[in-house]
Amino acid sequence: MRITWYHRKERLIVQRILHDMNPAVKLAAVTGSVLVLALFFNPWTPLFFFIGTLMIQACFSRISWKRYVFFMLPFVITAAGYLWTTVVFAAETEGPVIWSWAGFDVTAEQWSRALSLAFRVLAFSSVSLLFAFTTDPVKFALSLMQQLKLSPKLAYSMLVGYQFLPLLREEFTHIRQAQRLRGAGTETGLLHRVRNIRRVLLPMLSGAVRKAERTAFAMEARGFTGEPRTVFFEPVPLTRIDAAMGMLFAALLLLSSICGVALA
């Protein structure tokens, strides 16, 4: 499979790297970065990491940036929320005041804390979107089983649940239509709304129970035992590119930590 890559143009190969990367390695890189970033309270480390992640995304993947911005926007709003709550409800209120607004005195310490939490939200979201935009869900589940040794019973049933989603959406529409036809679900008021949630959720869940049973029987009838295995129908390989990308993330993390601490 890797041989065919070299027949294509160089640009194309580079822009597929994140998409072809092993999902388990990507998962480890992304989760590891988030956990390390949580240790820093200076504004620079998450900011540098955020910029670096955007650069990696731009260099090594081909995505729709319009969609990217659309997904990012709610988290920019959240970051703004963190910014002002941290300023208003800060734990530290000592130190020199750098500016005042509407009766609130903001100290340098408070401001840098607030900025760091807000940038942290942005850094977390960018690295998460990197994962979400470049990872195929089925390949992700298979990789969990093959690289991270998740039990096949769990991995395959996870895939079953995932494959049911479009079906469940269809069923949701049917239930709503059927109920509206009978004049149900038109009441207003908070209590009725809560009861309406149950009215839709219950038939959906009982349908799900029946589907789950049928699927389990079908899987067992076809010889699925759920035993751990070493040979797979669809192998998800580990390559040198995965190692290189892992090191790239580690380097970015290290660099932004060092620069962040030095600047703060």
Partner 1 sequence: MLKSWKLKEIILMSVFAAVFGVVYLLFVHIGNIWAGFIGPIAYEWIFGIWFIVSILCAYIIRKPGAALLSETMAAAVEVMLGNAIGPRLILSGIVQGLGAEAVFAATGYKRYQAWVLMLAGAGSAVFSFGYGYLLSGYAALDPSFVALMFILRVLSGALIAGLGGKYLADGLLLSGSLRGYAISHNKKGDAHV
Under rule CB under 8 A, which residues in 94-153 are in contact with partner 1? 113-114, 116-117, 120, 124-125, 127-129, 131-133, 135, 137, 140-141, 144, 151, 153
Q: How far is the CB of 116 from partner 1 (least distance, A)?
A: 7
Phi/psi of residue 214, each to 5°?
-60, -45
Q: Please, which of residues 215-244 interact with partner 1 by CB under 8 A?
A: 215-217, 219-220, 224, 226
Phi/psi of residue 105, each to 5°?
-95, 125
Identify which of 195, 183, 243, 197 has the alpha carbon closest to the alpha carbon of residue 28.
243
Judged by CB under 8 A, the residue of 1, 3, 91, 102 near partner 1 is 91
Cα distance between residue 151 and residue 157, in whole Å: 10
Q: How far is the CB of 3 from partner 1 (least distance, A)?
A: 30
Alpha-carbon distances of 19 from 59, 64, 132, rounded to whole Å: 12, 13, 10
Q: Please, which of residues 33-52 interact with partner 1 by CB under 8 A?
A: 34-35, 38, 41
Identify which of 240, 238, 248 has the alpha carbon closest to the alpha carbon of residue 147.
238
Binding footprint of partner 1, residue count (CB under 8 A):
71
Q: How far is the CB of 95 from partner 1 (least distance, A)?
A: 14
For partner 1, the closer of residues 13 and 248 by Cβ is 248
Q: How far is the CB of 256 from partner 1 (least distance, A)?
A: 17
Structure tokens at 178: 């059927």
Q: How far is the CB of 4 from partner 1 (least distance, A)?
A: 27
Q: Please, which of residues 158-177 interact with partner 1 by CB under 8 A?
A: 158, 160-162, 164-165, 168
Cα distance between residue 177 and residue 10, in whole Å: 52
Structure tokens at 250: 């580690």
For partner 1, the closer of residues 89 and 233 by Cβ is 89
Cα distance between residue 117 and residue 138, in whole Å: 34
For partner 1, the closer of residues 20 and 113 by Cβ is 113
